[in-house]
């Protein structure tokens, strides 16, 4: 992200701090052991000094900006210009880059010279709420995934606001995926990954691949994925065991943003919300979410729905992080760990993990304290 260099300067030296424990009657964020909804969720309760500084900075500085900035074409253009500053960063000398197209959709492919050997191709869909972020802002996470998986990582430059709606973004994503299957030697080893809005597109690719009769992705990786177009609604059948205190996503703005995501006449192929499409998804799925972020309840709900159908699901919940923190691979040690865990999951899914999987020594599994309500898969 464009603010990662600033955070590096603010944090300086990183330390590791144990999450405080306290006897409380309610599972408040950051107090007491983290409770979970999805059975077998892996909980990461320790956090670094850098992550705490980043979370507080986001809450104090960036959240008010997002809360009060008008949602207009002018403000979106300003945000996209700020994102463009990332293009000035030097590309990794260890990565081979190639620009191209898949089905007419612009993409950027990268292969790390020092990663493990792999026949995998990883299709990456960047986040940013469908109006910010780009293949430029997300080069670092793609480089790290290329290193850790050994895969050729293909980052997709899908259309965003104000040029197109979410429906257009979905079409670009599935078009790129379908074209990729036709071009590579091992279409059975395609992993699809994304953060936030890119996580939404990741799940849509899996759904539409099934609907269109295409090869299903070998695995799905979702970093704080958006799983519905209305995550702000609390009257849905998902279990919420903690109050949302998202570090920088203001819940109050979602309704206004949704008007631009889905303008009149915009029709999304299949379900508008991936949370409703679990019956179409068969690929092993890896989720990362933050304890008190706005999108966490639906991530756990999706994990329950998939696991109930026998789909392999690995869900990691992290304390004191910001939404989609794995993107900040240059800043946080937790990002490095999350990406390594995701890489191991992907390599195992394609039959290439030739060692014991990485384990975070500070993590543990929690037992389920809730369940999905009847009728939630409708």
Residue that wins the pLDDT comparison between 127 and 27: 127
Domain ranges of the chain: 28-365
What is the pLDDT at residue 366? 62
Q: What stretch of H or E contains 220?
A: strand 219-223
Model confidence at 14: pLDDT above 90: no
Cα distance between residue 278 and residue 217, in whole Å: 14
Tell me the CATH class for 28-365: alpha beta
User: First-to-last CA distance in the chain?
Assistant: 36
Using alpha carbons, select from 50, 127, 143 the residue that is nearest to residue 90.
143
326-373 pLDDT, tens digit each: 999 888 999 999 999 999 999 999 999 988 999 988 887 765 444 444
207-228 pLDDT, tens digit each: 999 999 999 999 999 999 999 9
40-57 pLDDT, tens digit each: 899 999 999 999 998 888
What is the pLDDT at residue 378? 36
Q: Could you tell me if 219 and 346 are in contact, meaning their C-beta atoms sit under 8 angstroms apart?
A: yes
What is the pLDDT at residue 316? 97
159-189 pLDDT, tens digit each: 999 999 999 999 999 999 999 999 999 999 9
Cα distance between residue 329 and residue 59, in whole Å: 20
Least confident of 22-31, 121-130, 143-152: 22-31
Using alpha carbons, select from 75, 92, 91, 95 the residue that is nearest to residue 83.
75
Cα distance between residue 157 and residue 78, in whole Å: 19
The DSSP secondary structure of 53-78, one letter per residue, reads HHHHHIIIIIHHHHHHS--SHHHHHH
Q: Where are the alpha helices (DSSP H) in the chain?
A: 4-11, 49-57, 63-68, 73-83, 139-149, 166-183, 197-212, 254-261, 296-308, 333-349
pTM: 0.87
Cα distance between residue 164 and residue 151, in whole Å: 30
252 to 30, 78, 161: CA distances (angstroms): 23, 21, 20
What is the pLDDT at residue 328? 92
């Amino acid at each position: 992200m464009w603010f990662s260099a600033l955070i590096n300067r603010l944090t300086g030296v990183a330390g590791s701090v144990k999450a405080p424990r306290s006897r409380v009657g309610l599972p408040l964020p950051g107090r007491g052991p983290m409770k979970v909804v999805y059975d077998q969720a892996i909980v990461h309760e320790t956090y670094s000094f850098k992550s705490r500084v980043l979370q507080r900075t986001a809450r104090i500085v960036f959240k008010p900006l997002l809360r009060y900035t008008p949602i207009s074409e002018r403000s979106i253009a300003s945000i996209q210009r700020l994102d463009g500053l990332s293009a000035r960063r030097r590309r990794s000398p260890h990565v081979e880059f190639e620009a191209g197209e898949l089905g007419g959709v612009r993409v950027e492919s990268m292969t790390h010279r020092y990663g493990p050997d792999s026949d995998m191709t990883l299709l990456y869909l960047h986040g940013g709420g469908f109006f910010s972020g780009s293949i430029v802002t997300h080069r670092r996470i793609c480089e790290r995934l290329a290193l850790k998986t050994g895969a050729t990582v293909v980052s997709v430059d899908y259309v965003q606001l104000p040029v197109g709606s979410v429906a257009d973004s979905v079409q670009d994503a599935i078009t790129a995926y379908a074209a990729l299957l036709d071009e590579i030697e091992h279409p059975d080893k395609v992993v699809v990954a994304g953060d936030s809005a890119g996580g939404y597109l990741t799940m849509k690719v899996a759904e539409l691949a099934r609907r269109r009769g295409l090869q299903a992705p070998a695995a799905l990786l979702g970093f704080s994925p958006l799983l519905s177009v209305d995550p702000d609604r609390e009257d849905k059948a998902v279990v919420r065991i903690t109050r949302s205190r998202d570090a920088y996503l203001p819940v109050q703005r979602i309704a206004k943003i949704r008007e631009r995501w889905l303008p009149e006449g915009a029709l999304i192929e299949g379900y508008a919300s991936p949370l409703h499409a679990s019956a179409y998804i068969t690929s092993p799925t890896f989720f990362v979410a933050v304890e008190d972020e706005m999108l966490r309840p639906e991530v756990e709900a999706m994990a329950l729905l998939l696991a109930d159908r026998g789909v392999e699901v690995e869900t990691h919940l992290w304390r004191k992080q910001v939404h989609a923190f794995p993107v900040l691979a240059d800043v946080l040690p937790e990002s490095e760990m999350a990406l390594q865990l995701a890489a191991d999951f992907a390599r195992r899914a394609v039959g290439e993990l030739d060692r014991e999987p990485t384990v975070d020594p500070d993590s543990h599994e929690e037992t389920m304290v809730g369940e999905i309500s009847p009728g939630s898969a409708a």
